[in-house]
Structure 1
Amino acid sequence: MLGALAALNGLLAVIVGAFGAHAMTDAQAKAWVATGALYGLGHAAAALTVMARAPTAAWAMSAGAIVFSGTLYLMALGLPRWLGAVTPIGGVLMIAGWALLIWHFLRA
């Protein structure tokens, strides 16, 4: 399940990122998509890399990327901007994933 979630982050980053680059004209929407794709793809790769050794960190990274990138994608597609209040929750989860990874390596 964790691998599938991380791979979903990568898939969405590529699909939505390409859509934003080629089909969107609104500058703010393009920026949201670009940011979401950058963080989504980066955290997908990180989670897939560490999921066997540090699954808790990978879960936090994956969940965080879904929330962070997902809310940016949804706002770019025209959903309400109040979703921007949810975006930082994803950021905190991604940060927690990196902190958990540091903890994992310090304990090893």
Structure 2
Amino acid sequence: MTLQETTIEAGEIAAALGLGRPTFMRKVSQLVNEEGMPSRLPGRKRWSRAAIEIWIRTYGDRKAAQAVGARTAINIATDRAHLRAAYVNAGGPRVVVDNTGVGA
């Protein structure tokens, strides 16, 4: 195998991510630091093809899981606010139940 077969350059990675090369080059450090993308090979302007291929295969799954987690947190916060408003606006006597075990 040649070096060209075992490594990948920025333009190929950008295309795989649906980005232009200039956009990818601006985002590369963020992708490495925040998204777990493999770093460049030492002394080269290329990346390990195998490492990048594995990262790209799992990148979409990780982003989807993050989006679901964020939506879930938003939904919980929204539901909590609606319930709190419903209880406050219900009027009349209320029973407060502490099931946290903190006061026990």
Relative contact order (alpha carbons < 8 A, sep ≥ 6): 1 or 2 greater?
A: 1
* Greater percentage in strand: 2
* Greater percentage in helix: 1
Q: Is TM-score (shorter-chain normalized) higher than 0.5? A: no
Of structures 1 and 2, the larger Rg is shown by 2
TM-score (norm 1): 0.33
TM-score (norm 2): 0.34
